[in-house]
């Protein structure tokens, strides 16, 4: 009689020393646990805001980009009921209002702060993103050629996820200045050349 080979029950046979086999099995099991958690797989916990000094319109355009999945999850947490941002214009508007109420911009001239009052233009869905739009009409035109210091408050989604990271890019005349709002930083200053 010939010798029978032991059959492995794993779909992914591991070859090597017994210690290597155990280590690979442990790593595979750990990865399965981590990536099977739906909230880990989808939550990005990052958002990007763009402040654009638009020379064509003379306005300061404020554009917030959030992952749609994060926005839907956060909206349900913030408002206490399930929100369907994809299907409901009311839910999108409600969440847009949440975003603009957690964002502020002011001119910081060291002696005082002059808060700007951006207009809320609306929101839209594009692919996996929710976009929220604001504008300060005439602001770019009034500050042509002037170096500015802006004080920005950006606590969007930070009340839902304390480790939320919000990147802000300020674009003016081909220059981009970036700051990141991370744990403990909801108010930062940015110099705009």
- Strand pairing report for 46-53 and 187-192: unpaired
The 10s digit of each residue's pLDDT in 40-74 is 444 568 999 999 999 999 999 999 999 999 999 99
pLDDT at 111: 84
DSSP 3-state assignment of 173? Answer: coil
Residue (of 103, 106, 118) closest to 154 by Cα position: 103
Residue 123 has pLDDT above 70, yes or no: yes
Give the strand order in the sheet containing 46-53: 119-126, 129-136, 60-67, 46-53, 165-172, 175-181
Q: Sign of torsion, CA 186 189 192 193?
A: negative
pLDDT at 184: 78
For the chain, the domains span 14-41, 44-192
Residue (of 115, 114, 83, 113) closest to 98 by Cα position: 83
Percent of the chain with pLDDT over 70: 77
Give the strand order in the sheet containing 187-192: 113-115, 103-108, 148-154, 187-192
């Amino acid at each position: 009689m010939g010798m029978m080979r032991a059959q492995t029950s794993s779909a992914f046979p591991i070859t090597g020393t017994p210690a290597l086999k155990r280590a690979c099995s442990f790593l595979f099991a750990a990865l399965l646990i981590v990536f099977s958690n739906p909230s880990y797989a989808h939550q990005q916990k990052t958002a990007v805001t763009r402040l654009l000094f638009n020379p064509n319109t003379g306005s300061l355009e404020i554009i917030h980009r959030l992952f749609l999945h994060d926005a839907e999850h956060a909206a349900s947490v913030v408002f206490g009921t399930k929100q369907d941002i994809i299907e409901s214009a009311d839910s999108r508007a409600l969440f847009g209002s949440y975003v603009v109420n957690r964002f502020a911009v002011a001119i910081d001239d060291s002696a005082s702060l002059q808060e700007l009052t951006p207009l809320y233009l609306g929101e839209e869905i594009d692919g996996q993103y929710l976009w929220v739009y604001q504008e300060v009409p005439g602001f770019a035109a009034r500050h042509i050629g002037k170096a500015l210091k802006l004080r920005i408050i950006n606590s969007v989604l930070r009340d839902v996820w304390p480790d939320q990271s919000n990147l802000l890019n300020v674009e003016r005349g081909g220059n981009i200045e970036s700051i990141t709002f991370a744990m403990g930083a909801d108010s930062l200053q940015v110099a705009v050349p």
